[in-house]
Amino acid sequence: MISRRRFLHASAATSLLASIQAKANVLSLNTIKANQPIVISTWDFGAAANAEAFKILSAGGRALDAVEAGVKITESDPNVETVGYGGNPDRDGHVTLDASIMDEHANIGSVACLEHIMHPISVARLVMEKSPHVFIAGEGALKFALDNGFEKTNMLSPKAEENWKKWLDESKYMPKVDYKSHDTIGMLALDIHGNISGACTTSGRAYKMHGRIGDSPIIGAGLYVDNEVGGATSTGMGEEVIRICGSHLVVEFMRQGYSPMQACKAAVERMVKMSPSKKEDVTAGFIALNKKGEYGSFSVYKGYQIAVHSTKEQGVVKDIQHLK
């Protein structure tokens, strides 16, 4: 039989253990609640996209849902000449769209050279969640979208068509090389649960060769998320970002202890070093977000902008550090 003294000691120990466990649960809950949501994106048009994303984050929603909803705002904005419906076409007059998405579990989905669909980012998410693949392109991507309920849309806006016709008169079938010809929207979000997701979507380089694909739909180039470390995305000349697996490189620099800004700077320096013969044409930049909610960016040339939205900060950051 258990003596009364032993019973009391056992009961006290059980009560103490229960108390410790309860305090641990409260501490864990407070830690989760202490995570402040934040969303960052490329360019000034990211501000409207961020505001939409933050509605989901502030309600306790998932970062993945936030980034998808956010960039859809830009995809349907006819005034943005480099993404979605407002995007300038390729040199043959086709608006071809690239997009990728990545969640906190390293699930990924991408589409490339997709035509006639308003929201390629949602098709990319469907590839991630409803297909056995991670990347679908061209006619196959269109068929996949239509088979899954997306509607076929004329994506050549009147303004983009006018721009293209002017370009045909003035150009010699050489794609433009400047920021305004390929301003991707890339977005990264941290939710209250401490998870990061990212999205990237673009109509690509204006007046590109038909079939050209840039960095935006390529996981590790235009977008990368590692939920242990943080995430990164890019904008600018996709060919050069692909060359260094840019967004993955930024995340790996953060893993080594670099701040988000330092990681973006190191990637830009690597990119320029890799293409010395074309250094004057390399126009690109990165944004990064780590698990602490710290963000940073860096670009090759002056003029790059990012948008930020959190409980403490909303708006466009214009004075981004740059190499040249």
Is residue 275 very low, low, confident or very high in pLDDT (cuts 50, 70, 90)?
confident
Co-location of 152 and 48 in the same domain: yes
Co-location of 136 and 27 in the same domain: no
Instruction: Determine the pLDDT at residue 228.
Output: 97
Co-location of 180 and 49 in the same domain: yes
Flag the least confident range among 58-62, 166-170, 206-210, 269-273.
166-170
Instruction: Determine the pLDDT at residue 19.
Output: 44
Q: Answer whether residue 25 shows pLDDT above 60.
A: no
Considering the candidates 42, 82, 96, 184, report the single residue annotated as catalytic: 184
Instruction: Determine the pLDDT at residue 282.
Output: 82
Higher pLDDT, 168 or 24: 168
Task: Report the chain's C-alpha Rg in angstroms.
Answer: 23
Q: How many domains does the structure of the chain reveal?
A: 2
Question: Can you tell me the mean pLDDT for 22-45?
Answer: 62
Q: Phi, psi (5° rounding) for residue 49? A: -65, -40
Residue 88 counted as domain residue: yes
Is pTM beyond 0.85? Reply is: yes
Residue 114 counted as domain residue: yes
Co-location of 191 and 296 in the same domain: yes
Q: Answer whether residue 208 shows pLDDT above 60.
A: yes
For the chain, the helix, strand and coil percentages under 3-state DSSP, each to the nearest 5: 40, 20, 40
Structure tokens at 132: 């056995």
Residue 104 counted as domain residue: yes
Co-location of 14 and 131 in the same domain: no
Co-location of 12 and 59 in the same domain: no
Co-location of 9 and 42 in the same domain: no
Co-location of 235 and 281 in the same domain: yes
Residue 324 counted as domain residue: no
Residue 251 counted as domain residue: yes
Closest residue by Cα to residue 264 from 204, 321, 184: 321
Residue 109 counted as domain residue: yes
Structure tokens at 275: 């293409």
Q: Answer whether residue 24 shows pLDDT above 50.
A: no
Structure tokens at 283: 């126009």
Question: Can you tell me the mean pLDDT for 302-310?
Answer: 94
Instruction: Determine the pLDDT at residue 31.
Output: 29
Q: Answer whether residue 238 shows pLDDT above 70.
A: yes
In this predicted model, what pLDDT tens digit does every residue of 2-19 receive, in sequence order? Answer: 454 444 444 444 444 444
Closest residue by Cα to residue 219 from 138, 122, 98: 98
| Structural contact between residues 297 and 320, judged by C-beta atoms closer than 8 angstroms | yes
Q: Which range marks the domain in which residue 140 is found?
A: 36-317
Co-location of 180 and 218 in the same domain: yes
* CB neighbour burial string for 33-52, b if at least 16 within 10 angstroms, e if fewer: eebebbbbbbbebbbbbbeb
Q: How far apart are CA 261 and CA 285, in angstroms?
A: 11
Co-location of 24 and 170 in the same domain: no
Flag the least confident range among 20-24, 132-136, 148-152, 301-305.
20-24
Q: Is 233 a catalytic residue?
A: no
Q: Phi, psi (5° rounding) for residue 233? A: -150, 165
Instruction: Determine the pLDDT at residue 37.
Output: 97
Q: What is the DSSP string of 217-282?
A: TSBTTTEEEETTTEEEEEEE-HHHHHHTTHHHHHHHHHHTT--HHHHHHHHHHHHHHH-GGGTTT-
In this predicted model, what pLDDT tens digit does every residue of 147-200 receive, in sequence order? Answer: 999 999 999 999 999 999 999 988 766 555 554 555 799 999 999 999 999 999
Residue 79 counted as domain residue: yes
Question: 3-state class of 153 per DSSP?
Answer: coil
Q: How far apart are CA 95 and CA 91, in angstroms?
A: 10
Residue 288 counted as domain residue: yes
* CATH assignment at residue 54: 3.60.20.30
